[in-house]
Structure 1
Amino acid sequence: MRTDQAAPALGILGCLAVVVTLALPYLVSTGWGSQLGRYYAAGPLGVGAVLFFALLGVVVFSAGARGRTDATTAAGISLALGVVALLVALLWAVSVSLQPLFGFPASWITDHRWYVVAVTAIIPAAAALYARSVL
């Protein structure tokens, strides 16, 4: 498979993986909405910005892959979007407090913030591959 086709597909999958990773605590347990809301809103921007950039990334990668946007433009926008999403995820991960989540029924929640960062790193990696393949 050609890299200029595989990279946007990987980017789309990475963006959707971010959405699923962010939704996972809500799906696992009910009744923790207010605590999870405080958890996600922590830090200067909160993790909602990462969700926004991930959803926007799906649109940008799709537009480039389907030829609706020039491939070099889509690759450049997706690279900038991915780097910003990763930086915001890192900022959120280091500033989030786990205090609202004491007693959460799943022990993995303490590492959830780092899972979000790891999955978000897929976006700029795929965008870099995409940019390299179209330039």
Structure 2
Amino acid sequence: MDTTDAAPTAGIAVCLLVLGLLAAPYLLLSEPGTGLGVYYSGGPLGAGAVAFLAVLLVVVFLSGRQRRTPPDTVAGIALVGGVAALLFAVLWAVSVDADNVYSFTAQWMEYHRWLVVVASALVPTAGAVYARAVL
């Protein structure tokens, strides 16, 4: 398997995983009046910053996979953007109000933000593997 093809594909998959995890509460929580707006807006940037970078990095990894941009440029943007996404996810996760998290009836919501952080940690990993392969 060629790492220069596998790393951007893994990066795309991980970014889509992050987006799927961020969308899961909207799809799985059916109670009206849940505090999802407060939950996602926790911290100075909220989860929207993580989602924005995940969408942006899908495009970056796609441009690297399809060789539409120089590989070293894609590797740098993917690595720096992935680190930023991870830092934004950690900032959001530690800033969410615990009372809001425990107000949800679904038990899995206690772990949701940390799953987003773990998935976000895989984005710069894919960027680093791609950078190592092309540089």
What TM-score range do you get, normalising by the shorter chain?
Answer: over 0.9
| Amino acid in structure 1 at the alignment position of 2:104 | F
Contact 1:26 1:32 in 2 (8 A): no
Rounded to whole Å, the distance in 1 between the matches of 2:67 and 2:87 is: 28
Aligned to 2:60: 60
Aligned to 2:112: 112
Aligned to 2:127: 127
Aligned to 1:91: 91
Aligned to 2:41: 41
Q: Deviations over 1:14-54 (max 9, x none)?
A: 00000000011111112446510100001011010000000
Aligned to 1:7: 7
| Amino acid in structure 2 at the alignment position of 1:83 | V
Aligned to 1:29: 29
Aligned to 2:80: 80
Note the aligned Cα RMSD (angstroms): 1.2
Three-state SS of the structure 2 residue aligned to 1:12 is helix
| Amino acid in structure 2 at the alignment position of 1:46 | G
Number of paired residues? Answer: 135
TM-score (norm 2): 0.95
Contact 1:36 1:101 in 2 (8 A): no
The farther-off stretch of 93-102 and 48-57 is: 93-102
Contact 1:39 1:98 in 2 (8 A): no
Rounded to whole Å, the distance in 2 between the matches of 1:102 and 1:65 is: 41
The farther-off stretch of 66-75 and 99-108 is: 99-108
The offset of 1:103, in angstroms, is 4.0
Structure 1 gap segments, 5+ residues each: none
Q: Deviations over 1:44-69 (max 9, x none)?
A: 11010000000000000000110111
Structure 2 gap segments, 5+ residues each: none
Q: Deviations over 1:78-108 (max 9, x none)?
A: 1000000000101111111132244423101
